Chain A
Amino acid sequence: MSHHEVRPAELDIRDVSCTAGGREVLSRVSLTAEPGEVLGVVGPNGAGKSTLLRTAYRQLRPAEGRVLLDGADVFRMPRRSLARRLAALPQETPAEFELTAHDVAAMGRAPHRRRIGGDRLGDERIVTVSLEMVEMAELAHRQFAQLSGGEKQRVLIARALVQEPGMLVLDEPTNHLDMRHQFDVLALVRRLNVTTLAALHDLNLAARFCDRICVLAAGEAVAIGTPVEVLTESLLSEVYGVHTEVGTHPRTGAPTVLFGD
């Protein structure tokens, strides 16, 4: 078992451009997630949110530009080293096999495990504790396929925690979740001392839980800043083509986005 406190990472996306099928889906996006901050990525469908995240977790090599984690190019470091520092939740679910929730969470130990030989001392405890953090310890031995959407998402987040990462990349972690579980998942992420880059659909959730927000539109980062700076009626109307009323939450002070008339 590691006895050190995991240090939050710094993610530096520099002038990243990506093409798909001859079309430019990201053009010269630059973005830095400071250690410990929660950075949201919002934007309309097809704006390039998932593409941007995929370059960060090394699934998609950008045509131009670099992605640096703590100053090192993620595409040049060994995959296992990257997996010990950065955990990601792509938008996919585990296959329909007889996997239990515990099996899924335990996969997060893989990058820490020796190539030959069994589990290391303490691996099991980290899995248990991570499942407890997402309140799934009691259901650990249920079949993953039979869990509800919210339970599945929490188990996948436990898998990411089991990696003991300094950086989390989450692709719409609140997708298909009801209000309470949307809130719980993001509140959990917020409590962790882990740098987080998360694509989010819901602007109110983004405003409530993110330190800063990056707005993507047609593959370009059109605004980066605190929720108050970024979520303005004029920008939202420009990016989404929808008339909105932006107010202020009476207690948290976060901006609130309502549909206009």
Chain B
Amino acid sequence: MRSPARAAQAESSSSTEATRPAPERVSPSERRISYPLVLVLLGAALVVAVVVGLAVGSVSLPPSDVTAILVHRVFPGWIDPGWPATYDTIVLDVRLPRVLLAGMVGAGLSAVGTALQALVRNPLADPFLLGISSGASLGAVTLLVTGATVLGTLATPMVAAFAGSTVTLAAVYALASSGGRMTTTRLVLAGVALSYVLSALTDLLLSTASDPHLLSSIRFWRLGSVAGAEWQTLPIPAIVVLAGLAVLLWQSGSLNLLLAGEESAGTLGLDVHRFRTGMFVLVSLMTGVMVAVSGAIGFVGLMVPHAVRMLVGADHRRVLPTAALLGATFLILADLAARTVAAPQEIQLGVLTALCGGPFFVWLLRRQARREKADR
């Protein structure tokens, strides 16, 4: 019998593509638009979102001026500044940090959601469902309320949130795998249960806090918001999210293998246990830092990977960059809505994403149920 290698050799001259009959039913994957086109379109959408995000607000600026300010900032010699000096302040100092943070958190949450879904082999996974975000919140709130500092005031909430998310993920993992092999169901159940306990602990802690100003700012942050963005708070999340994205992209081939199943991934050459442990630490770090700066913005990590898989398929080498682009665009626009829909009042970003995400989750469940029914 011919081995695949030898058969490939024998057939390398004939064009099998042209002679193969067309399949009788066209699957969604064949209707997909090409991957480079998806990237170009989403890249353009991101640029538009950034410009609109910078232009719209309590004072609306012409998009042309916003674009000119950005170009002038990067290439000072190109354009003569013909706009009022206050525009510079509004765009560069007030709105840009906020738009950048929204974009970074959107990209980061989408990438983390994608990775977690592969790691636990469940399309319903998300940092919030597994309790990681609640752990990060509790960590950050503990230090904020007690007023302790670690590694300086800026890094304190991030270190605390990272500690919280890591301990939570380790606990969820240990709970799910105690007394035998870990199953996805037990993982999600452990995550949900622990997330309730941790949220309750956070509430308990907040009820002991006396400073009303601190309390209201914590409440606002907990529900998810990028309103607190400033230039000086940006570098750490920027580094962690970008480096995290790079590592995830580098490991995207191994993430693909996990989809085959735990044992199958092992037989394809992956040390599943070591890989998963490393990925869990990375995901905790990214989640912790993002929760510290923007609170609990839910459902982005759930919705974006799904939309992206429908666009480009399941290969993580494509899913991760696409999810980062779409997530960044989505959260910049969501934040724009959060600060303009009920202006001058601001809605929390987390409330908005939950309003979109809840129905999406229900739709996902129904779709899965339909598929299971069709299988039978």
- CB pair B1 A193 closer than 8 Å: yes
- CB pair B27 A100 closer than 8 Å: yes
Per-position 1/0 for B258-284, Cβ under 8 A of A:
111111101111110000000000000
Residue A145 interfacial (CB < 8 Å):
yes
Per-position 1/0 for B172-198, Cβ under 8 A of A:
000000000000000000000000000
Please name all residues of chain A whose beta carbon is closer than 8 Å to the beta carbon of B3 when the two chains form the complex: 5-6, 164, 192-194
Contact of B266 among A58, A84, A141 (CB under 8 A): A58
Within 8 A of A (CB), among B356-376: 368, 371, 374-375
Contact of A110 among B122, B250, B257, B263 (CB under 8 A): B257
Within 8 A of A (CB), among B110-148: 117-118, 121-123
Please name all residues of chain A whose beta carbon is closer than 8 Å to the beta carbon of B309 when the two chains form the complex: 97-98
Please name all residues of chain A whose beta carbon is closer than 8 Å to the beta carbon of B1 when the two chains form the complex: 191-193
Please name all residues of chain B whose beta carbon is closer than 8 Å to the beta carbon of A143 when the two chains form the complex: 27-29
Indicate the member of B6, B21, B118 with the most A CB atoms within 10 Å. B6
Binds B, one of A63-71, A129-137, A212-220, A236-244: A129-137
- CB pair A92 B8 closer than 8 Å: no
Q: How far is the CA of A145 from the CA of B310 in the complex (A)?
A: 14
Contact of A5 among B6, B20, B117, B266 (CB under 8 A): B6
For chain A, the bracket of interface size reads: 35 or more
Contact of B8 among A54, A110, A125 (CB under 8 A): A125
Per-position 1/0 for A147-177, Cβ under 8 A of B:
0000000000001011110000100000000
Contact of B23 among A103, A126, A139, A192 (CB under 8 A): A139
Contact of A130 among B4, B315, B368 (CB under 8 A): B4
Residue B199 interfacial (CB < 8 Å):
no
Binds B, one of A75-83, A201-209, A252-260: A75-83
Per-position 1/0 for A86-103, Cβ under 8 A of B:
111110111111111001
Contact of B268 among A1, A103, A108, A193 (CB under 8 A): A108
CB distance from B304 to the nearest CB of A (A): 14
Contact of A137 among B20, B263, B310 (CB under 8 A): B20
Residue B211 interfacial (CB < 8 Å):
no
Residue B208 interfacial (CB < 8 Å):
no
Indicate the member of B25, B271, B313 with the most A CB atoms within 10 Å. B313
- CB pair B314 A98 closer than 8 Å: yes
- CB pair B5 A6 closer than 8 Å: yes
- CB pair B313 A98 closer than 8 Å: yes
- CB pair A133 B7 closer than 8 Å: yes
Please name all residues of chain B whose beta carbon is closer than 8 Å to the beta carbon of A126 when the two chains form the complex: 4-5, 8
Per-position 1/0 for A220-237, Cβ under 8 A of B:
000000000000000000
Known: A132-B16, A138-B23, A141-B30. A97 touches B266 (CB 8 A): no
CB distance from A158 to the nearest CB of B (A): 9
- CB pair B121 A164 closer than 8 Å: no
Residue A185 interfacial (CB < 8 Å):
no
Residue A186 interfacial (CB < 8 Å):
no
- CB pair A141 B23 closer than 8 Å: yes
24 A-B residue pairs with CB within 8 Å: A5-B6, A87-B267, A90-B263, A90-B267, A92-B264, A95-B118, A96-B371, A97-B309, A97-B314, A98-B28, A100-B29, A103-B256, A107-B264, A107-B268, A110-B257, A110-B269, A115-B253, A125-B12, A132-B7, A133-B4, A138-B23, A142-B25, A146-B374, A164-B4
The 9 nearest A-B residue pairs measured at CB: A83-B269, A111-B269, A80-B269, A90-B263, A92-B261, A191-B1, A88-B267, A95-B121, A98-B309
* New A-B pairs, 16, CB < 8 Å, besides A97-B123, A137-B20: A5-B6, A83-B267, A90-B264, A95-B258, A98-B310, A99-B259, A100-B27, A103-B313, A108-B268, A122-B8, A130-B4, A132-B7, A133-B7, A138-B21, A142-B23, A143-B27
